[in-house]
Amino acid sequence: MKINHMKIDPGMTTLQLIEQMGKSGVLGAGRMYRATELLAEVISDEETTVFLSIAGPMVPGGLRKIIRDLIADGHVDVVITSGANLTHDLLETFGGSHYREHDETDEELCQMGMGRIGDVYTKAQDFEVFEKKISTLLEEIAQKNNQLNIREFITEIGNSIQDPESIICTAAEKNVPIYAPGIIDSMLGLQLWMFTQENQLTLDAPGDMHELSDIVYSSKKVATVILGGGLPKHYALASNILTGGVDAAIQVTLDRSEAGSLGGAPLEEAKSWAKAKCGSKLVTVIGDATIIFPLMVAGAREKLDK
């Protein structure tokens, strides 16, 4: 099949641009097109349960609203993420922000009370507010029920806050479960630990697996969209091993495969483990998720709207 060259028309929509990438169909452009097509397909298919795995600093990196909107509009059915993204979501709910355009050294930032994630900055004051608010929340939650699985715990937080912009709050409202198997490894986890030193609150990690397996078993098809690697990637794929693997998967990553890390592993590898079905649709886009994911979502949502 012949390659057609992409054509730029000023003012073209994002979908029109992505369709030009599809006309070419090779290298990154081809993968970008196929990923967008697949995303639109799995979202619009009523029989497909859509998982979204979010590793990396997606909330600090400006994707909070895009993720929140996907949940609010019913395009995502299950979220798997890190404790860090939950922490940063709450940080904004509690009045904090993420900042940019600093040029201090890391040692200077430390003295100023600022934490750095690439070129994103946080303020210690915002974390202090976070700590106060979250400890009040933890008390409220523990009074109601001091034995929860991690998903229930996150839902409880979502039910306790009023912030339409929050991923956690929106997910709670829309009954979209959020799983965070590594929640303890985060500022939220640290607060949780400090709380449990003087209070009774038990989080049952294996408990989530019951729910997750129910979701997988009751889904006709499962698709998973994976931003970054780590636990959120593995947990999404591994939870589908029970039914022979996902039916479709999209991953966006800058990690590479040669050293064998899961983050950089090709999705094809998941087939050998029955974490992706034989014949499943798998697309990887190599790139920075803060560029690739907004482009993909814009294209897919435009396609859905048609």
Catalytic residue IDs: 275
Binding residue for a copy of itself, selected from 19, 45, 69, 211, defined by CB under 8 A: 69
Tokens of 137: 């929340």
Nearer to a copy of itself, 165 or 173 (CB): 165
Contact 98, 120 (CB under 8 A): yes
Smallest distance, Å, CB 204 to a copy of itself?
7
Bridge partners, 121 (sequence order) = 99, 116
Contact 219, 244 (CB under 8 A): no
- Of 192-221, binders to a copy of itself (CB under 8 A) are 192-193, 196-197, 202-206, 208-210
Choose among 73, 300, 214: nearest CA to 222. Answer: 214
Output the CA torsion sign for 270, 274, 277, 279. Answer: positive
- Of 73-132, binders to a copy of itself (CB under 8 A) are 84, 97-101, 106-107, 109-111, 114-120
Kindly compute the dihedral angle of the four CA atoms of residues 80, 85, 86, 91, in this order, to the nearest 10 degrees.
-170
Under the criterion CB under 8 A, does residue 235 sit at the interface with a copy of itself? yes
Under the criterion CB under 8 A, does residue 177 sit at the interface with a copy of itself? no
Choose among 202, 199, 204, 203: nearest CA to 139. Answer: 199
DSSP characters for 178-219?
EE-TTTTSSHHHHHHHHHHHHS--EEETTHHHHHHHHHHHH-
# residues contacting a copy of itself (CB under 8 A):
122
Instruction: Residue count of the chain, please give it.
Output: 306
- Of 16-45, binders to a copy of itself (CB under 8 A) are 17, 20-21, 23-30, 32
- Of 241-300, binders to a copy of itself (CB under 8 A) are 241, 254-265, 268-274, 278-279, 285-292, 294-295, 297-298
Binding residue for a copy of itself, selected from 4, 129, 156, 174, defined by CB under 8 A: 4
Looking at residue 15, its amino acid is L
Per CB under 8 A, the segment of 42-50, 65-73, 134-142, 154-162 that binds a copy of itself is 65-73
How many Å apart are CA 207 and CA 204, to the nearest integer? 5
Per CB under 8 A, the segment of 41-49, 138-146, 155-163, 223-231 that binds a copy of itself is 223-231
Binding residue for a copy of itself, selected from 86, 224, 230, 250, defined by CB under 8 A: 230
Nearer to a copy of itself, 234 or 281 (CB): 234
Binding residue for a copy of itself, selected from 72, 151, 178, 182, defined by CB under 8 A: 182
Smallest distance, Å, CB 95 to a copy of itself?
12
Smallest distance, Å, CB 189 to a copy of itself?
7
Does an H or E element contain 278, and which?
strand 276-286
Looking at residue 147, its amino acid is Q
Binding residue for a copy of itself, selected from 45, 163, 190, 221, defined by CB under 8 A: 190
User: CB under 8 Å to 119, separation ≥6 — which residues?
Assistant: 100, 101
